[in-house]
Structure 1
Amino acid sequence: MQILRANGTVLKINKAWEEFWEQSSVADISKYNINSDKKAQALGMTSAFKQALAGITASLRNMKYTLDADTAGTGGVRFLNVRMLPLVKEGEAVEGVVCILEDNSKNRFVELEKEKHQNQLKEEITRRTKQFESLLQFSTEILTINDPTEVFEFVISWAQSLFGLDYSSLLLLEKNGKLVLKDVIGFSRSLIDTFELQTGEGLAGLVAQTQQVAVTENFATETRFTIPDVIGENGITSALAAPMLNKDGLTGVLIGHTKSKRIFAQSERLLYQSIANQAAVAVDNAISQQSLKRSEKRFRHLFESANDAIYLIDLKNDRIVDCNRKALELGGYSREELAGMDKYALYPSGEHAVLDERYKKILLKESLPAVSSHSYIHKDGSHIPVEISTSLVETGGQKLMMNIVRDVSRRKALEEEREETSLRLRRASRMEAIGLMAGGVAHDLNNILSGIISYPELMMLKFPSDSPVQEDLKKVIASGQRAAGVVADLLTVARGAATVKEIACLNELIKSYLVSPEFCKLASLYPQVNFLPSLTPGIATILCSSGHVQKMLMNLVTNAAEAVEGKGEVKVSTSSYVVSEKESSLDLLPGKYTVLEVSDTGTGISRYDLEHIFDPFYTTKKMGRSGTGLGLAVVWNTVQDHDGLVRVKSDDRGTSFVIYLPISPETHTCKMTPGKSSLEELHGKGNLLVVDDEKSQRDIAVKILSVLGYKASAVSSGEEAIAFIKKKQPDLLLLDMLMDPGLNGRQTFERIIRLYPDQKAIVVSGYSDSEDINKLMEMGVLGLLKKPYTMEKMGLVVKEALQ
């Protein structure tokens, strides 16, 4: 404590003051005046003294004062608490000031140390906050980058800026275990994708091996690993490296270098490790995204280039969200029309339940057939046979149902064509068997029928026209002709039987049939059926066996009339058609065709019956009463013999038979079929030789020829015929084709024309191969007379041959 006079000089000090200031009470204080003490003025003590003189107590806290001598080891610094109290006698003015000094240095030094620690803590918090904010910003921004290359660039740029690095690099761990440089700052960019490190090589290799952050303060003293040449080449001193870790382990290494020596604090290492880990996640995500984009791009390419229609269906609303190019082609819809369409809209309502069941099993992952067959509705309303394969896919993060729809119409057509071919082969096989049977009996049957038909004709000439015997004989002839018709049908079914083809007009053949007794009888049996001819004028002629074509027409019209129940129509029409190369098939070659169509308004043919209608002896009628079961078999074989095609269309509205016949190679004027000739018109003159191994056939032929005015002779073999001709050459030779034993008809004629090239001949046959007949025609035979024959037929053929 110190007492100051009003003038500022010291009146008195106590012992404690003396010890603190190291002042004597006599020598030092006599010269001191607070008003002139510059330190006191600077510290505010002078002002406090004056305030106390004014009667106001003044206080100064933690006044920092530096002593001349440092006895406490604090540099002479003291922290003092000072109070200036006015010294007043009772009732008088202030006489002086009492200055009380308290040394607060110890407490103050404790307070200052505390303040220093608090400031350091604040600075650390501020620094950590900034680091956290930087890491947060880094994490936020890096998650927006999906390209791996951009992630590499972002990471090394951020690390360089945040840590003040001269070089910043990122290396990824490849499948072969090597670290490959992916991006750099500071180093030559030529090192990218070429600079590699083995695990344990260099600081990055050490970090990859230990999977812990590591530093090198000075590469010059580093002994833990081999140092890559690039370090020395760039004058690098220090480095900081951290493993890029994620949930699956090591992805790569993030490493930074400085040219000057750098000591990296622990907090920097931790932050660097956090950035490296964030980079690992970002790199993996970016690579995954890139892989996903590539996968989606490949998917899109496959999706669009697929040969099948593909539809993607949203599982939430069961609507189509996307489709490929083939889907647009398949249905004729635009992409806009298909988008948002219900998943069932492309299929008939009757198939929705089956499809729904299939979709449910797909969602429940139950087993089901790989594909299912359905009908697809085209935009024009037509139905296309398809096969559907269904699966679940995920694209663009969206789960979808994928329908792969394959158009199998071509395959179905091929299957149907194969089935039809197989059916034709089976039918041909049956036809061949029947043909062998028919050919075996036809010759003998026709020889027998010749007597049944011809002898009654000869007998009718002996009775008056009004004789009751005439009618009986006509009935015998009619029965024989019906039997001959059955044999003729068998021979037609047999195919290969002798036929002579001539150029004819289909329209005229139809007209001839429509005025024939057979048609008139048919029309009378079905009065409620309206027969409608619709013949296209000027159609091309055909090369055909007129009798077979008319028989085919008669069978078709008869079947059509019988198919109509009650009132209805049977339409017979002709037209022309050209088959292009594109339309052609094994059944129908390119070219021009004359088309015959016979249609009815009946009840149609069942699917089962439709497969068998051309089979011989197959009939839905009563065998022996309404038909023999050969009618349509004759149609089919006739068409085949004429290199044509028959197509059948049938439903509950009726049936249509469409027959394509090739036009003749030459154009001819259509001629009407001649009418019935009288006996007088058939008469002629000449010497004729009949050659037949059957005596009954020789007798019949000679008698008919004699009635017709000819002089006829007969021999029983080819050898006898040659011997006869050498003696006397006839005007016309009537030659049987099948003779046994010895020479047949063809062999006989071949030998005769060698001797007599101008010899005229006609062939008479109950059954002969078409090939033999054709060869004879080429050799000069003038006609074919089929057994059993009538007097009229023989007369016409003989007269035409002689003329």
Structure 2
Amino acid sequence: MIKFKDKSIKYKLTAIITMTSTIALLFASSAFLIAEFALSRRSMEKELSILAEVIGTNCSAALLFDDRDSAVETLSAVKAVPHIISATVYKKDGRPFAGYNAVRTGHTIARVDLRSVEPGYRGPENGYRFYNGYLDVCREIVLDSEIIGVVHLKSGLKELYARLMWHGIFCGIITSVSLILAYFISSRLQGMFSKPILHLARTMGEVSAVRDYTLRANKFCDDELGDLIDGFNDMLEQIRQRDEKLKLTQFSIEHSGDAAFWISRGGRFFYVNNEACSYLGYSCEELLAMRMADIDPEITEKNWPVFWETSKQRKSHTAEARHRRKDNSLVPVEIANNFLEFQGNEYVCVFARNIEDRKRMEAQLQKAEKMEAIGTLAAGVAHDLNNILSGVVSYPELLLMDMPEDSIFKEPILKIQKSGQKAAAIVQDMLTLARRGVAIADIVNLNDMVSDYFRSTEYEKLKSFHPKVRFKTDLAEDLLNISGSPVHLSKTVMNLISNAAEAMPAGGEVSIRTANRYVDHPISGYDTVSEGEYAVLNVADTGIGISVDDLEKIFEPFYTKKVMGRSGTGLGMSVVWATLKDHRGYIDIHTAEGAGTQFALYFPVTRQALEKREARFVLERFTGCEKILVVDDVRVQREIASRMLIKMGYDVRSVPSGEMAIEYVKEAPVDLLVLDMIMEPGIDGLATYRRILDIWPRQKAIIASGFSETDRVREALRLGAGAYVKKPYTLENIVKAVRYELDRQA
């Protein structure tokens, strides 16, 4: 049986109200019946006392004259009162004088002791008593202040008890009806109290079941129950906010880019996040069954206590470490150790960040800085070499122009010229390596670069060194054009094919393919290829492949395993790398030792059309008679340029500095300036050209330098200079530039 305290609040409220009403009604009914009983007794006693006084007054004459019949007649009047059983008149001495009995009419002969009528009776005096279900009333008969007798009335109490019984029945009926009404009304009105409480209980149950702290209890009133519901809703809001913060914290940790490990005193993982599982290759369950010593080679079961105590003392510190993956490979990580106390337990919280990419980028940065340092050195050397080589490259050309065809000196001079040109080519490689402003303004097609190479003497020479190597091409007919430098791109093609042939000492196949490719998402390889549209040059071989160590150094300057005397300067692949970067391209390499190598070069495409190739150089087309001023700080360079232009019929003057050039043009205007960009000491070519433009705003000029094109060269071209000529001079490049600029409409 369910105890009352375990009943529903609805049942309890109804029961309490009903029981309270019952007790109150019973108490009221009892009080009413008791009061009614007392009042009825008092009323009955008073009624009989009055009747006794009346009878005594009426019988006083009968007692005085001893007229018993008259007294009996007076007493017989009490028969009108049904509940009176007997009425007796006694003389002063206590002897009965006359009487009436409701059961038997007649005189009462028995002597009545009046003292037995009222307990404590002391002679003839007034009195009453309720005794054995009767009411006895005695009243003295007084005449002229003298007691002459006593009237005694005896009444039954049945009428009193009957009236009380009907009152009790009435009260019972009223109480029963009231209780029914109380139960009905309470069962209806208890909802005012139970409904908010039951709704609150249901809301609590829903919140507990679904853990949804956005639920709220409805407020039905503004009393204490309303305050209770407000307090409950406020508590839910606080829990919701705390839960949101906890969820955000938990989500942040679970989806953090850093791995998180909570480690107990014994070295076992207490908690790991998703990133920890991801970069180590374990499932969460697997990691939670492991220890820190299982993933960190530097930590063992023996030195773990030392690590724990160190972490406890230092509280927080960072370091670099290596973690062992599931496949047994090691990954570099940066770790932050934090010693924490949580709910009475101690933990080491380790946040580990995978720094593989950072280490790789640091290595690439070091390599780039190394390349930059070597390039800076190479650029300085190249500039000086260009000045030295000018005489070796340019003077033979001037000598050959005046030399008879059958001269015995012609062949030696040609050899001197060819050697100078080879040296100049190496200088250009060094300038490319320095990445000093390779011009990529020409519209070219990679197919033409490949085709031109296979028609060159370099290709014939390569075949002679590697007769067992086969060459195969697969060039896309719809290959898109690119913006680039034909000279550097041709050298890139030559270096890649030469490298491929060198990788097959026993023979094999070199395949060269071109294709269009659209990259819709970054491709991770040797380089990360960004989204875009590219013309791709693939050069693959079936040779010995490239080892991991060699792959790391393949683009370093002067690193080579080729045979010296053929193409072993060590700059070939460095030039490929520098040229590719100058063309804003990317490279990817696929190789394996013994399985060959494939280089894929990605060049951004352009929609511009190819320009028509110029016809064969004809010297006579570039003659003239205009006045030209050559400005160069190196005497040999001034002489070479002047002699070449004089040979073509021009009126040439020369000065060794920019300041002197300014003073010259003030006095004698010229048709064209040939300006060296770098002149020391004094102002350079750009500053000189600016000042001359202040004097002659339409002054024409060409820029010459032993360096590749720089920002200052491009600024001079923007100001109006017509062309940029590289040193060492050749007759073709200088006279073309001069004639084109003189013919150009200002």
TM bin (shorter chain)? 0.5 to 0.7
Partner residue, 1:714 = 654
Residue identity matched to 1:609: D
Instruction: Give secondary structure in 1 for the equivalent of 2:294.
Output: coil
Residue identity matched to 1:789: Y
Matched, 1:792 2:732: yes
Q: Is the 8 A contact 2:444 2:482 kept in 1?
A: yes
Distance 1:465 1:746 in 2: 42
Residue identity matched to 1:764: A
Q: How far did 1:632 drift?
A: 1.0
Q: How far did 1:791 drift?
A: 1.9
Distance 2:514 2:381 in 1: 37
Matched, 1:702 2:642: yes
Counterpart among 544, 552, 570 of residue 603 in structure 1: 544
Q: Is the 8 A contact 1:689 1:715 kept in 2?
A: yes
Q: Is the 8 A contact 2:646 2:652 kept in 1?
A: yes
Q: How does 1:300-449 map to 2 (within 5 A)?
A: 368-369=294-295, 373-374=325-326, 417-449=357-389
Distance 1:691 1:367 in 2: 73
| Change in 2 beyond 3 A, CA 1:600/1:584 | closer
Q: How does 1:125-524 map to 2 (within 5 A)?
A: 160=1, 167-168=2-3, 184=6, 187-188=7-8, 368-369=294-295, 373-374=325-326, 417-497=357-437, 499=439, 501-524=441-464
Instruction: Give secondary structure in 2 for the equivalent of 1:593.
Output: strand
Partner residue, 1:101 = none
After superposition, the C-alpha distances for 1:105-131 in whole angstroms (9 at most, x for unaligned) are: xxxxxxxxxxxxxxxxxxxxxxxxxxx
Distance 1:740 1:681 in 2: 35
Distance 1:730 1:498 in 2: 30
Matched, 1:754 2:680: no
Instruction: Give secondary structure in 2 for the equivalent of 1:611.
Output: helix
Distance 1:417 1:579 in 2: 22
After superposition, the C-alpha distances for 1:192-236 in whole angstroms (9 at most, x for unaligned) are: 9x9xxxxxxxxxxxxxxxxxxxxxxxxxxxxxxxxxx99x9899x
Q: Is the 8 A contact 1:499 1:770 kept in 2?
A: no
Partner residue, 2:579 = 638
Distance 2:681 2:292 in 1: 78
Aligned residues: 445
After superposition, the C-alpha distances for 1:402-423 in whole angstroms (9 at most, x for unaligned) are: xxxxxx9xx98xx654344223
Partner residue, 1:656 = 598
Distance 2:669 2:438 in 1: 27
Q: How far did 1:635 drift?
A: 1.0
Distance 1:524 1:623 in 2: 16
Q: Is the 8 A contact 1:738 1:768 kept in 2?
A: no
Q: Is the 8 A contact 2:375 2:434 kept in 1?
A: yes
| Change in 2 beyond 3 A, CA 1:693/1:777 | same
Matched, 1:569 2:509: yes
Q: How far did 1:577 drift?
A: 2.0
Distance 2:709 2:610 in 1: 30
Instruction: Give secondary structure in 1 for the equivalent of 2:553.
Output: coil
Matched, 1:743 2:683: yes
Partner residue, 1:379 = none
Residue identity matched to 1:611: E
Structure 2 residue ranges without an equivalent (≥5) = 23-207, 212-249, 257-273, 297-322, 334-351
Distance 1:692 1:745 in 2: 9
| Change in 2 beyond 3 A, CA 1:374/1:466 | farther
Distance 1:572 1:366 in 2: 51
Distance 2:295 2:682 in 1: 69
Q: How far did 1:622 drift?
A: 5.0
Q: Is the 8 A contact 2:432 2:578 kept in 1?
A: yes
By relative contact order (CA 8 Å, sep 6+), the higher-ranking structure is 2
Distance 1:526 1:675 in 2: 34
| Change in 2 beyond 3 A, CA 1:466/1:532 | farther
| Change in 2 beyond 3 A, CA 1:678/1:367 | closer
Q: How far did 1:630 drift?
A: 1.2
| Change in 2 beyond 3 A, CA 1:189/1:615 | same
Q: How far did 1:723 drift?
A: 2.3
Partner residue, 2:612 = 671
Structure 1 residue ranges without an equivalent (≥5) = 1-159, 161-166, 170-180, 195-228, 236-290, 295-301, 309-325, 331-346, 348-353, 377-382, 388-407
Counterpart among 487, 512, 515 of residue 547 in structure 1: 487
Q: How far did 1:450 drift?
A: 0.3
Q: TM-score, normalised to structure 2's length?
A: 0.53
| Change in 2 beyond 3 A, CA 1:445/1:191 | farther
Q: Is the 8 A contact 2:503 2:544 kept in 1?
A: yes
Residue identity matched to 2:577: W
Distance 2:623 2:456 in 1: 26
Q: TM-score, normalised to structure 1's length?
A: 0.50
Q: How far did 1:802 drift?
A: 2.7
Distance 1:625 1:519 in 2: 12
| Change in 2 beyond 3 A, CA 1:587/1:723 | farther
Q: How far did 1:568 drift?
A: 1.7
Aligned Cα RMSD in Å?
4.1
Distance 2:577 2:356 in 1: 19
More helix by percentage: 2
Q: How does 1:30-45 map to 2 (within 5 A)?
A: none
Distance 2:611 2:507 in 1: 34
Distance 2:462 2:730 in 1: 24
Distance 1:783 1:598 in 2: 34
Residue identity matched to 1:629: G
Structure 1 segments (4+ residues) deviating >3 Å? 187-192, 232-235, 365-372, 415-420, 497-500, 581-590, 622-626, 678-685
Counterpart among 471, 478, 497 of residue 538 in structure 1: 478
